[in-house]
Structure 1
Amino acid sequence: MNDDRAYLEQLLHQDIPLTQALGLGVSSWDGSELRLSLPLAANLNHKSSMFGGSLYCGAVLAGWGWLHLRLREAGVTDGHIVIQQGQIDYREPVLGDALAVCAAPPAAQWDKFLALYQRRGLARLSLHSRILVDGAEAVRFSGQYVLHR
């Protein structure tokens, strides 16, 4: 596991203990896309599919983790990330192990977010996550994340 992946997984398990119960792992990080693993066995509901709350947590945490790692790469370490708003669309039941994936927003949006934070100490960024099962999209999530000093 590369340093960024190990760092984020340890941070999530230490600061958000629920991630351990979810069996959440950091599958990959390439500087623009984060992938978190969610095993079905740890997140089963009464219908033998993945619990909606687990899917929501995975989607939120994919965005949070993406933002945390990108800020760390940009040298921004004085802020706190919170989710302000989220909307989820459960398109298909999740019947197997899943990946929560968050990709980079457009560069102009990212640059504006960083500049605003540096100027005001407060900025908002919309990020989109997907839950994939065997490469197929089962869940879509849009979240507004706030970074504040």
Structure 2
Amino acid sequence: MSIFAQYWQRRLVTGFPVLAAMQVSVAGEQAAWHLAAPFELNRNDHATAFGGSISTLATIAGWMAVNVVAGEGADVVIQSGATDFVLPIASDFTAHVLPPVADDLAAFERMYVRRGKGRLAVSVEVRTASNQPAATFHGVYVAVRLNQPPALRGSGQTD
């Protein structure tokens, strides 16, 4: 497990007890990562993945993505979100954050640097064990800088 995945695994399961109960795991590196959840602990009475677990995994993936962009010293909260369920899931499942729209990301970074607060729309695809898209999530998150200069990763900007 990468250092990136170890850090986020620890942060997620200690910060969100429901994620520990769901046995959510982080895999990958900062440039390419995803969250995973086992089917058996996240199933419903129809022998498919519970919609609440699918939505939770996607919501947290979006939250984590905004935290990664904002860097240390940010408080990130969700403002709004919606999940569309496309296919039933009867296997382990993963959440993959789609690259944000470049203009949206640039606007977020400008506002975060200038005002210490920024808003970013994030889309997440939840996939089955065979990598088939089964749900999509669209959320808007707000990041607020907490008494520290911004550390926007990959932007080359500092205050």
Runs of at least 4 residues off by over 4 Å: none
**C-alpha displacement of 1:30:** 4.1
**C-alpha displacement of 1:115:** 1.1
**Retained in 2: the 8 A contact 1:27–1:36?**
yes
State the partner residue of 2:134: 138
TM-score normalised to structure 2 length:
0.85
TM-score normalised to structure 1 length:
0.91
Q: Map 1:1-149; keep pairs closer than 5 Å.
A: 1-31=1-31, 33-72=32-71, 77-133=72-128, 134-149=130-145
Per-residue CA deviation, residues 65-111 of structure 1 (Å, 9 max, x unaligned), is 12222322xxxx23210011001100111110001110321333212
SS state of the match for residue 104, structure 1? coil
Unaligned runs of 5+ in 2: 146-159
Counterparts of 1:116 and 1:98, CA distance in 2: 34
**Retained in 2: the 8 A contact 1:34–1:65?**
no
Per-residue CA deviation, residues 5-28 of structure 1 (Å, 9 max, x unaligned), is 110010001111111101100022
**Retained in 2: the 8 A contact 1:63–1:143?**
yes
Matched length: 144
Q: Percent identity?
A: 28
Counterparts of 2:33 and 2:63, CA distance in 1: 10
Unaligned runs of 5+ in 1: none
SS state of the match for residue 42, structure 1? helix
Counterparts of 1:135 and 1:28, CA distance in 2: 16
Per-residue CA deviation, residues 22-71 of structure 1 (Å, 9 max, x unaligned), is 1100022342x431011101101111111100000000011111222232
Q: Max radius of gyration: which structure?
A: 2
State the partner residue of 2:157: none
Counterparts of 1:61 and 1:86, CA distance in 2: 11
Cα root mean square deviation, aligned: 1.3
